[in-house]
A and B are shown apart, each in its own frame.
Chain A
Amino acid sequence: MTELTTTLTGYAAQARDDAHVRDEAAAADITQENTFDVKGLNLFYDKTQALKNINMTIKKHEITALIGPSGCGKSTFIKTLNRMNDWIENCRVTGEILFEGRNIYKEVDSLALRYRVGMVFQQPTPFPKSVFENIAYGPRIQGISNKKKLAEIVEESMHQAAVWDELKDRLHESALGLSGGQQQRLCIARTLAARPSVILMDEPTSALDPISTQKIEDLALQLKEKYTIVIVTHSMQQARRISDRTAFFLLGELLEFNNTVDMFTKPANPKTEAYITGRFG
């Protein structure tokens, strides 16, 4: 148990510390091109199979978009990547998911995994706390209690999530009072504050207006410099605009996975073509 934790948290520790440590981590990253390697993944709720034999590679510093009609398994899949399905009773997983070469169900502690693989949900999920406390939550969970350090992390994360200018004067107001778009960017800042290397976004803009959506998309494009992003989206245009690779899910299967340009210009599978041209969905 302890050794497992030790091996898996090595990266997390590196990611959070000073510049030269970051460089080391970056050096290590070069040897590890793939963030996730998914091999023969099956997922069952009770007896219904929600994911069927998924094989997929998610590359570092890329945006991977997951598309497909509702109920196709794309949300289930993204939640599996940081084990958010653990809490669902009767949920069973077979096959392997390797995160930076380590099996997340065997070699990685679920909490440490989520420190490194953050998640932004469909609906903004602010806590009923102040803006500051919302963002400081992740670092606090990871044992940071130094006020100055926390303030630094909060400011840095807010800059990264492009909410600093908007919210710097409202740090001590309740996050519940923010607009939907601000709440969602706050949640991104909160995720960044936990110093992840991957950000999973589960339809992050489906509850937002076009302008807020635009801001989040711009943000995603900026963030991919430093982070690996996986995004579930309903919108073909969004996938096309921001992603490097696109995966098309249908009825629990990964039907097609290719780089986005190819996928949208010459889809290999007629069903993919039917979906992206809007013939069903």
Chain B
Amino acid sequence: MSRIQHKKKVDKIMTALFFAGTAFAVILLVAFIGFVIAQGFGEMTLDMLSFSGSGLGNMLFNTLYLVFLALVFSMLTGVPAGIFLAEYAHQGKVTHWVRMAIETLASLPSIVVGLFGYLAFIVMTGSQWNLFAGSLAVSILTLPLVTSVTEDALRNLPDSYRQGSLGLGASHWQTIWRVLVPACFPRIMTGLIMAAGRGFGEAAALMFTAGMSTDINWNNWDITSASCPLNPFRPGETLALHIWSLRTEALHPNAAQLASVSSAILMVLVVSFSLAARYISWRLDKKMGGTNS
């Protein structure tokens, strides 16, 4: 009897502990987001958001532009790589190594990728720090995500799509291109949005590639000019990197406020992209669930 009571007591205590641990963690995390956003918006002035020399507008633009380029690169290689793994690769040693290599890529420290980018895209090409090199470095970091999302999406498609198409005399590639990829396009989009979220926050990989300065002239639309906003071969500091440089360099009198505002903007970007990805995949699951019945 007392043994059973003891058991029940231990069970209650442990349950309470788990609840407390979870509550602590979740409250801490939610408070964290809330704090960053509230603090940032509390200190925000219109001046800070401007596209002038000291405003964050340029960095925001750089961030979006760089991430956009990075997504283009990782889509151009990651989606085919995912198709390769899901459709063309035979199960065997080579595929095993390809998969393992891409997994390794996913766990590489971003600063290591940044150093590689510095060496490969800056030193070896003899160029200045530039957005293009930065976006290549970020695309290396997002490539594994895009690849695995594509592979999983293709693998999760019902076999009937493949059968139906092949049965009509379509080649394997016609099947992939006309049926399978369109069918998993929303999933791939979700993966890209997740990748974008990662790209926004990346800083370590950009320190030695995209550079820590930015000089944009918004009236200059000559794409070959170093101050043209759209020229990818110009240095371009991103918001995340700006936070880092504000902390170490403290050039601005209101560095702390600028960093807080930058953090808040980044947070909003990341959270909204993450929610968007979640929403899309939720809608998809709902739709799939609806048609299966």
Contacts and interface: CB of A to CB of B under 8 A. Distances in A.
A95 interface: no
B183 A128 contact: yes
A84 B168 contact: no
Contact of B291 (A113, A140, A177, A187): A177
A60 interface: no
B170 interface: yes
Interface stretch (A20-28, A33-41, A116-124, A235-243): A116-124
Contacts of A140: 178
A162 B90 CA distance: 42
A234 interface: no
Nearest to A138: B168
A128 B287 CA distance: 11
B165 A137 contact: yes
B182 interface: yes
Nearest to B161: A127
A113 B169 CA distance: 7
A58 interface: no
A84 B164 contact: no
14 contacts: A89-B90, A112-B169, A114-B168, A121-B160, A121-B167, A124-B160, A127-B179, A137-B170, A137-B178, A137-B179, A138-B169, A176-B291, A187-B164, A191-B168
A141 B163 CA distance: 15
A177 B171 CA distance: 27
A194 B169 contact: yes
A114 B167 contact: yes
Given A128-B182, A137-B178, 13 more contacts: A89-B90, A111-B169, A114-B168, A119-B167, A126-B160, A127-B179, A137-B179, A138-B169, A141-B168, A142-B169, A190-B168, A191-B167, A194-B168
Interface in B121-168: 160-161, 163-168
Interface residues of A, number: 30
A75 interface: no
A115 interface: yes
Nearest to A140: B178
Contact of A114 (B166, B178, B183): B166
B160 A84 contact: no
Interface of A: 82, 84, 87, 89, 111-115, 118-119, 121, 123-129, 137-138, 140-142, 176-177, 187, 190-191, 194
Contacts of A176: 291
B45 interface: no
Give the secondary structure class of B's interface. Answer: helix
Given A123-B160, A126-B164, A177-B291, A115 B169 contact: yes
Nearest to B164: A125
A264 to B, nearest CB: 30
A138 B169 CA distance: 8
A193 to B, nearest CB: 9
Given A121-B160, A124-B160, A176-B291, A137 B169 contact: no
Contacts of B168: 114-115, 118-119, 137-138, 141, 190-191, 194
Contacts, number: 67
B174 interface: yes
A119 B183 CA distance: 21
Contacts of A177: 291
A8 to B, nearest CB: 12
Contacts of A191: 167-168
Those 6 A-B pairs whose CB atoms lie nearest each other, nearest first: A125-B164, A114-B169, A125-B160, A119-B167, A115-B169, A138-B168
A141 B175 CA distance: 9
B169 A87 contact: no
Most B Cβ at <10 Å: residue of A112, A129, A141: A141
Given A124-B160, A177-B291, A84 B166 contact: yes
Nearest to B167: A119
Contact of A127 (B90, B165, B174): B165
A177 B174 CA distance: 24
Contacts of A127: 161, 164-165, 179, 183
Contacts of B170: 111, 137, 141
B14 to A, nearest CB: 47
Most B Cβ at <10 Å: residue of A87, A119, A127, A142: A127
Contacts of A142: 169
A82 B161 contact: no
Contacts of B160: 121, 123-126
Nearest to B179: A127
A125 B163 contact: yes
A114 B167 CA distance: 6
Contacts of A138: 168-169
B167 A118 contact: yes
Contacts of B291: 176-177
A187 B165 CA distance: 11
Interface in B173-188: 174, 178-179, 182-183
Given A137-B178, A141-B174, A128 B166 contact: no
Interface in B82-124: 90
Nearest to A124: B160
